Amino acid sequence: MTSTQAAEPAGERAGEQAAESAGNRRRGPSMADVAREAGVSGQTVSRVANGRHNVDPETRERVTAAMRRLGYRPNSAARALRSGRFHSIGVIMFTLSSFGNMRTLDAIAAAATDAGYTINLIPVPNPTRGDVSVAFDRLSEEAVDGVVIIVEAHLLDERDIELPAGLPVVVVDSNAGDRFPVVDTDQAHGARLATEHLLDLGHATVHHVAGPDRSYSAVHRREAWEATLRERGAPVPDALVGDWSSESGHRIGLRLAADPSVTAVFAANDQMALGVLRAMHESGRPVPAEVSVVGFDDMEESGNYWPPLTTVRQFFGEVGRRSVEALLHEVESGVAHGTTLVSTELIVRDSTAAPTAPRAAASVTG
Amino acid sequence: MTSTQAAEPAGERAGEQAAESAGNRRRGPSMADVAREAGVSGQTVSRVANGRHNVDPETRERVTAAMRRLGYRPNSAARALRSGRFHSIGVIMFTLSSFGNMRTLDAIAAAATDAGYTINLIPVPNPTRGDVSVAFDRLSEEAVDGVVIIVEAHLLDERDIELPAGLPVVVVDSNAGDRFPVVDTDQAHGARLATEHLLDLGHATVHHVAGPDRSYSAVHRREAWEATLRERGAPVPDALVGDWSSESGHRIGLRLAADPSVTAVFAANDQMALGVLRAMHESGRPVPAEVSVVGFDDMEESGNYWPPLTTVRQFFGEVGRRSVEALLHEVESGVAHGTTLVSTELIVRDSTAAPTAPRAAASVTG
DNA sequence: ATCGAGCATGTTCACGTCAACATGCAGTGC
DNA sequence: GCACTGCATGTTGACGTGAACATGCTCGAT
């Protein structure tokens, strides 16, 4: 198929072979080469490459043929230089640890690709001010038209961390609402759903395994949990703070399991819920017979935990899509969106049930 | 919020003000501006920006001051155009679904950043030939110096999918060994570890829940499992094929649970192992008392499954780091590495134990 | 026949950077 | 004192593209 591959363009290349293999890299044919090959001007090639309509069909055909023959690819650096647009969006995120972030990134990447944009991933190894600053510094040297920041974002409030001026930004999972457009899951709604579900089941109150304080989503979930309890006149136990890991969930779960008054637990994510589940098993407190557990996220695996976990589903895909949408809107129009909230849904599985006869380990009734 | 959206029809720009805030973006100060401000030539600014040593300290100071004052940032497009190097590496991967891929990506991003490279993420929505081709096409329009491909890569064998010639490539999780350098976990070693562990515990044989056939890691694990059984003279049951999801693990687990001769199961990843665990619980076959289960990956959560899962740990970070290393080596020297294997480690937790009195549901012996 | 509108195509130039090649000046050796 | 070396700095041009402007041709209206 490939055969001789164009062979003779001009005198031009003699011992190209050797040079090409090593040092000479990445200098493919340019528009000028295509133009020569097709017998037209460079500008015409440009027009064809950009799908302009004012080109004679026959000429267009000749040019595309030449492109194919030469294996021409537009040079994005030159394009960007000329146009000042990079067709790329940066994504700043903490090491991709968390399930939710990853799903969001996935959706962002898909949406950006659809829109003809490229993703420039800028990892932040540690959520320290220094590392975040470095990431931001990098930004302006990088070639991006806008940025999505997925960082538990109290750091954005620091006065001395500064984004390059004039660079469109959208923030995910943060407040920062006044400084930047925000796209986020409706944390409060989700937490309310979970808490009410347990209350409706007849539990006297709901204990909460919270995420770390520095995370806004953790704080929002916690606040909504507390507000819901108050509204319903239920006592508000102290929230126990974990770090999102199932390990921390397990540690906290052990403490909860030791307290016989605990019958309902709402964990701020599925991983911590998993740890709680394990703690309950180890402590001989059957779920859901004695203790009900609800998570948050709806990871793929949640339905296969033991028992299958009742949880709040987040639509990460939607969050990602909306982020890109908002960002590109800003990039193209210069006008920033406001805040966008994506709702949640309660997925009821087998880890929740009505409490048994209060505080007595009687046999399961009917 | 959406309001007028774009407004200006023909006049193109009404007041420059508005135009400046929107259309005119990203034209910060250039070297020329800094040069003027500092009273030196552009070339001197360039030298300072690149940390060359042949600049008088006093001049350097003056230039950096001017840079700061103006908020100068080098334009990477111009740099790339001039130098033909983009300082960016592309990563082609399937929608970041899998845990392992995501960890690998994380490590790649970190390593690349350390090396002063940027990550250009190129998602492949579906593992169809078409989508892969599109991703590859994008590649040459994108500005990357090399590519890491994390794709279950039977697709790479298709003759008609072609990478841009001369673009350095490293493949992760694939064979393709003859065409490209490969970095991968030593799948065979891990699978052997898992199988031998169960055999050593005294199980007559080990059943296998395999990953999909199109995945090379799945195939390698399966082959190693089979080879190990043969070497040890154990019978080789049919492998049951899942799709990596815990859901599929559950489905298959139900079948395994129904067969009383099954006492040991090796699942090709932790998620499927989780599904198997659930199936065993549902079927009243206690783990590990009656059935032992081993996974593969060692996800963060595995230690909090119920029971905590014995599994094979993969060092994704290492894989990612090595990939970048191999790729950059190729980018810089033009010479391709060979294959690199990263080893694995067996993590024994509570989901495995010696079989009870063969095939009898007797009480647990001392 | 004449003019101009409409359209395909060509020419020129600047985007920001940096390699290669000047320039100019201080100091060194003979 | 003269050529010469070493070093800081300046000048020129090209990387590949596409906007703006220029050219030339066809066709219809007058």
Burial of A165 (0-12, 13-18, 19+ CB in 10 A): exposed
* A360 band by pLDDT with thresholds 50, 70 and 90: very low
- Asked if residue B364 has pLDDT above 50, the reply is no
Q: How confident is the model at residue B111 (pLDDT cuts 50, 70, 90)?
A: very high
Q: Are B327 and B89 in contact (CB under 8 A)?
A: yes
CA–CA dist B118, A334 (Å, integer): 26
C-beta separation of A237 from A205 below 8 A: yes
Share of chain A above pLDDT 90, in %: 60
Verify that A252 and A231 share a domain, yes or no. yes
Peptide bond into B260 cis (omega under 30): no
Average pLDDT score over residue span B340-361: 84
List protein-proximal bases of chain D (any atom < 7 A from a CB): 7-20
H/E run at residue A316? helix A316-333
By C-alpha distance, which of A355, A301, A10, A316 is closest to B95? A316
Q: Does B27 score more than 90 pLDDT?
A: no
C16 nearest neighbour residue (CA to C1'): B78
Residue from the list B5, B25, B123 with its beta carbon closest to the beta carbon of A166: B25
Q: DSSP code of B7?
A: -
- Average pLDDT of the segment spanning A84-96: 85
Say whether pLDDT at A6 is over 50. no
Q: Is the pLDDT of residue A20 over 60?
A: no
User: Tokens representing B221?
Assistant: 């694990």
Lowest mean pLDDT among A215-224, B57-66, B169-178, B194-203: B169-178
Same domain, yes or no: A172 and A158: yes
According to the per-residue pLDDT averaged within each range, which of A34-38, A94-98, A151-155, B350-354 is highest?
Answer: B350-354
- Residue B75 · residue A78 · CB < 8 Å: no
Q: Tell how strand A118-124 and strand A88-94 pair up.
A: parallel
State how far the Cα of A298 lies from the Cα of A234, in Å rounded to an integer: 26
Confidence of residue B101 (pLDDT cuts 50, 70, 90): confident
Query: Looking at residue A155, what is its pLDDT?
Result: 64
The whole-number average pLDDT for the span A127-155 is 78
| Residue A234 shares a structural domain with residue A282 | yes
Q: Tell whether A99 and A192 lie within a shared domain.
A: no
A62-81 mean pLDDT:
92
As a whole number of angstroms, the distance between CA A320 and CA B241 comes to 32
Provide the H-helix boundaries in B123-265: 129-141, 187-200, 216-231, 246-258
Residues B191 and B176 in one domain: no
Confidence check: pLDDT of A115 > 70: yes
Contacts of A244 (CB under 8 A, 6+ apart): A98, A211, A212, A215, A218, A268, A269, A271, A272
Q: Whole-number mean pLDDT of chain A?
A: 85
Has residue A308 been placed in a domain? yes
Per the listing, tokens 């999780």 go with: B173
| Average pLDDT over every residue of B119-136 | 81
Reported as a pLDDT band with limits 50, 70 and 90, residue B131 is: confident
B202 with B234, same domain? yes
Report the distance separating Cα A117 and Cα A107, nearest Å: 13
Q: Are A200 and A237 in contact (CB under 8 A)?
A: no
Q: Do A281 and B306 touch (CB under 8 A)?
A: yes
Across chain B, what does the average pLDDT equal?
A: 85
Instruction: Tell me the nt nearest to A55, Cα to C1'.
Output: C8
Whether residues B278 and A165 touch (CB distance < 8 A) is answered with no
For the segment A203-248, what is each residue's pLDDT rounded down to a tens digit? 999 999 999 988 888 999 999 999 999 999 999 999 999 999 999 9
Q: Residue B18: pLDDT above 50?
A: no
**Residue B210 domain flag:** yes
**Domain annotation covers residue B17:** no
Distance from CA of A39 to the nearest CA of B (A): 23
State the Cα–Cα distance between residues B156 and A83, nearest whole angstrom: 35
Residues of chain A neighbouring B6 (CB-CB closer than 8 A): 333
| Cβ atoms within 10 Å of B9's Cβ, excluding its own | 6
Backbone torsion region of residue B297, taken as left when φ is above 0, otherwise alpha when ψ lies between -120 and 50, otherwise beta = left
Q: How confident is the model at residue A97 (pLDDT cuts 50, 70, 90)?
A: low
Confidence at A157, pLDDT banded by 50, 70, 90 = low
Is there a contact between B249 and B240 (Cβ–Cβ < 8 Å)? no
Quick one: pLDDT at residue A337? 80
pLDDT in tens, B147-181: 998 876 566 666 556 777 778 889 887 766 577 88
Q: For B102, which of A102, A246, A305 is closest by C-beta distance?
A: A102
CATH number at residue B256: 3.40.50.2300
Mean pLDDT of B109-122: 91
Mean of the pLDDT values across residues A320-329?
94
* pLDDT above 60: residue A167: yes
> Which residue range(s) make up the domain with B295?
187-314
Higher per-residue confidence, B73 vs A351: A351
Under 8 Å CB-to-CB from B34, ≥6 apart: which residues? B45, B63, B66, B67, B70, B72
**A344: β partners:** A314
Domain assignment of residue A353, yes or no: no
Interface-testing mutation among B306, B321, B351, with chain A (most A C-beta atoms within 10 A): B306
Question: Does residue B352 form part of some domain?
Answer: no
With a cut of 90, say whether residue B267 has pLDDT above it.
Answer: yes
Instruction: Judge whether B358 lies within some domain.
Output: no
Residue contact A303–B247, C-beta within 8 A: yes
Mean pLDDT in residue range B307-324: 95
Q: Does residue A94 sit in the same domain as residue A180?
A: yes
Strand C closer than 7 A to residue A36 Cβ: no
Q: Which residue has the higher pLDDT, B174 or B334?
A: B334
Count CB-CB contacts under 10 A for residue A131: 15
Both A196 and A301 in a single domain? yes
A321 falls in which pLDDT band (50, 70, 90)? very high
> Which of A94-103, A317-326, B338-347, B356-365 is the least confident region?
B356-365
Asked which of B52, B74, B96 is the last residue of a domain, the reply is B74
Is the CB of B81 less than 8 angstroms away from the CB of A74?
no
List the one residue out of B342, B340, B304 whose CA is nearest residue B100: B342
Question: Using the beta-carbon criterion (under 8 Å), do B141 and A73 form an inter-chain contact?
Answer: yes
Domain harbouring B34, CATH code: 1.10.260.40
Beta bridge partners of A90: A120, A147
Same-domain status, B162 and B243: no
Of residues B153 and A104, more confidence is placed in A104
Which H or E element spans position B329?
A: helix B316-333
What pLDDT score does B315 carry?
Answer: 95
Report the domain count for chain B.
3
Whole-angstrom Cα distance, residue A335 to residue A181? Answer: 10
Which nucleotides in chain C lie closer than 7 A to a protein CB? 7-12, 14-20
Does the pLDDT of residue B96 top 70, yes or no? no
The rounded distance, in Å, linking the Cα atoms of A92 and A164 is 14
- Quick one: A200 and A301 in the same domain? yes
User: How confident is the model over B71-94, as a mean pLDDT?
Assistant: 90
| Cβ(B300)–Cβ(B331) below 8 Å | no
Banded pLDDT at B24 (limits 50, 70, 90): very low
B121 to A109: CB separation less than 8 angstroms, yes or no: yes
Most confident of A17-31, A271-285, B69-83, B323-337: A271-285
Higher-confidence residue of B216 and B280: namely B280
Both B63 and B105 in one domain: the answer is: no
Q: Is the pLDDT of residue B365 over 80?
A: no
Contact (Cβ atoms closer than 8 angstroms) between residue B250 and residue B275: yes
Q: Which residues contact B275 (CB under 8 A, 6 or more apart)?
A: A304, B242, B245, B246, B247, B248, B249, B250, B251, B252, B253, B267
* pLDDT given at position B103: 87
- The pLDDT > 90 percentage for chain B reads 60
A197: exposed, middle or buried (Cβ count in 10 Å: 0-12, 13-18, 19+): buried
Partners of A297 on chain B (C-beta within 8 Å) are: none
pLDDT of residue A161: 64
pLDDT of residue B253 exceeding 60:
yes
In a domain, B349, yes or no: no
CA distance A298 to chain B (A): 13
- Distance, in Å, from the CA atom of A142 to the CA atom of B118, rounded to the nearest integer, reads 8
SS3 (DSSP) at A92: strand
What is the pairing mode between strands B182-185 and B339-342? parallel
Which residue, A40, A74, A108, sits at the end of a domain?
A: A74
Q: Please give the pLDDT value at position A28.
A: 80
Query: Would you state the structure tokens that stand for residue B156, as one six-digit string?
Result: 């790479």
Residue A238, phi then psi, degrees to nearest 5: -60, 140
Stretch B196-205: mean pLDDT: 98
Question: Does residue B308 sit in the same domain as residue B321?
Answer: no
C-alpha–C-alpha distance, residues B17 and A188, integer Å: 40
Q: Which residue is nearest to nucleotide D7 (CA to C1')?
A: B54
Give the range with max mean pLDDT: A147-151, B62-66, B179-183.
B62-66
Read off the tokens for B286. Answer: 């206690």
In this structure, are residues B19 and B13 in contact, taking their beta carbons and an 8 Å threshold? yes
Is residue A149 in some structural domain? yes
C-alpha B141: how far from its chain's center? 23
Query: Does residue B224 surpass a pLDDT of 90?
Result: yes
Which residue, among A26, A244, A248, A271, would best test binding to B if mutated, counting the most B CBs under 10 Å from its CB?
A26
